[in-house]
Amino acid sequence: MPKRSWQRRGKAAMDLIEFFSNHVFRMVFFGTTVIGIVSGALGAFAYLRKQSLISDVIGHAALPGALLAFLMAVVVFGINGRNMLLLIVGAVVTGTLAALFANAVAARTKIAIDTAMAISLTTFFGLGMLLLRMIANNPYPGKGGIQDYLFGNAASITRADLTTSVAVGALALTLMIVFWKEFTLRTFDPVLSTMLGFRARVIDTLMFSTIVIAIVIGVKAVGFVLMVAFVVTPPAAARQWTNTLPGMVALSAVFGGIGSGLGAYLSISLGNVPTGPVIVLVLFSIFLMSLLASPKRSIVVTALRRVRARKALRRELMAEGRNP
């Protein structure tokens, strides 16, 4: 029995060694981990502003921006349209515009924010699908696999893509740190932020731009459709464990990185399984564990508190001579 146990451990160790010795597997693992860390950290602000669905708006609205950047590169400049940095720039522009449009409509009209986000999402995504069909029906060079941006293809991540993701993600995290005070004040007390002289439009543009970057760097690996889970699920899980903003941002980044890396490893180890959906399921498992096991906010702890409160109330009523 001990011998078999050691054999199983040796096989698991060999699997890890083989995994990280493969260049493609390494690119998938580190690429998705970077995506999880950046999107998890920046998604905390969207979660706390009660605009988690804004990530869905940004993810769908980024599609036409990436496709317009592709068309401009190929048709106007005659260069490679699949350059990741170029696609990120295009996606950041339209994603930020969509987020600002939804918030502007909600602020200046009687339309609720959820309705405004739905209108923004469908409009920009409709434009993206139109551009996608136009590209598919015309002989543009380098258009092969352009539809992967909808659902992602982690195996296509190159060293250059990873370098770009790290650099752009680091830029987004740097902006978050530099403007930490402004982001925090705008998130928790927008009225006070305005009274102190902070321009709401400027802060919102910076904040949504960083969230757009967090979403867009995951396009090639996960796709626009599933990136919403990377921005929403880690903060929701982290919120169960901490009451402070720095702790929530840090823990959300950790959950995003661990969930993405573990999901990438499992998708490759299990065989012909898409990486994005597996990562989403792993992130959901972390969220579910947080709901059940966090020491202060879990479902179990809340139920125990209610039971104790009922027992305490019953004892008080019996001590007063009342029938509970």
Mind listing the pLDDT tens digit for each residue in 25-53? 999 999 999 999 999 999 999 899 887 77
Amino acid identity at 125: F
User: How far is CA 88 from each of CA 96, 161, 267, rounded to the nearest angstrom?
Assistant: 12, 11, 26
**Sequence spans of domains, the chain:** 2-223
Q: What is the DSSP letter of 273?
A: -
| 3-class DSSP state of 269 | helix
Mean pLDDT, residues 112-130: 92
pLDDT at 2 over 60: no
| Residue of 21, 187, 172 whose CA lies nearest to 91 | 172
Alpha carbon distance 237, 289 (integer Å): 8
Helix (H) or strand (E) holding 236, with range, is: helix 227-238
pLDDT at 153 over 50: yes
pLDDT at 4 over 60: no
| Residue of 162, 149, 150 whose CA lies nearest to 264 | 162
pLDDT at 130 over 80: yes
Amino acid identity at 225: V
Spell out the residues 6+ positions from residue 170 whose beta carbon is closer than 8 angstroms to its own. none
Alpha carbon distance 12, 189 (integer Å): 50
Amino acid identity at 8: R
Mind listing the pLDDT tens digit for each residue in 49-89? 887 778 788 888 888 998 899 898 888 877 777 777 888 88
